[in-house]
Amino acid sequence: MFENPSTGDRDEAFAKLEQQFQPLIRRMVTAFAGPDADADTLEDWRQEALIGLFKAMQHYREESGVPFAAYAKMCIQHRLISYQRQLRWSQLLRPFHDDEEDSIPDEERSAPEWRVEEQWLWDRIATVLTPFECDCLRCHLNGYSYDETAVGLQTDAKAVDNALQRARRKLRKTLQQNPDFFRS
């Protein structure tokens, strides 16, 4: 059923896998994005699912004894969960602006006043988290994997994972105790 991509053309192998896993990806994307998601949102989620499938293709080892379909499903699901967390965190940490300010183009968001507000948020976060937890959270929110973060911070991926778990717990507890924590 699954041909090792190292023996064949990777693009062709991935195209076949994508076609084979399309129904599963469609079901999983709909479950994560929700039935009312617009086409652009569904496409974003689908792309994340395809990244999970691609990683499954890259890292699968037959000698593990796990069927490829089960491994691929797990990789896709983990990628979608990571994307869901990333979206949740980015919404949580997005500066509080009214709708008018949210329509400011990205190139204008680099203006000094936006950086001041972003710095204010990180200063607030730093009152709750350790410097290492803040560094891990910044990397995570910027899209770095645990492994990439670990290399950059000269630690291991498990330390990054633990720091992010602690950061989530601390921020969740802080927001439960003080819902206005991120408001000035």
pLDDT digit string, tens, across residues 116-174 = 667 788 888 989 999 889 889 988 888 888 988 888 888 889 999 999 999 999 999 99
Three-state SS sequence of the chain: CCCCCCCCCHHHHHHHHHHHHHHHHHHHHHHHHCCCCCHHHHHHHHHHHHHHHHHHHHHCCHHHCCCHHHHHHHHHHHHHHHHHHHHHHHHHHCCCCCHHHHCCCHHHHHCHHHHHHHHHHHHHHHCCCCHHHHHHHHHHHCCCCHHHHHHHHCCCHHHHHHHHHHHHHHHHHHHHHCCCCCCC
pLDDT digit string, tens, across residues 47-65 = 999 999 999 998 999 998 9
Pick 97 or 142 by higher pLDDT: 142
Whole-model pTM: value is 0.52
**Full set of structural domains in the chain with CATH:** 10-89 (1.10.1740), 102-177 (1.10.10)
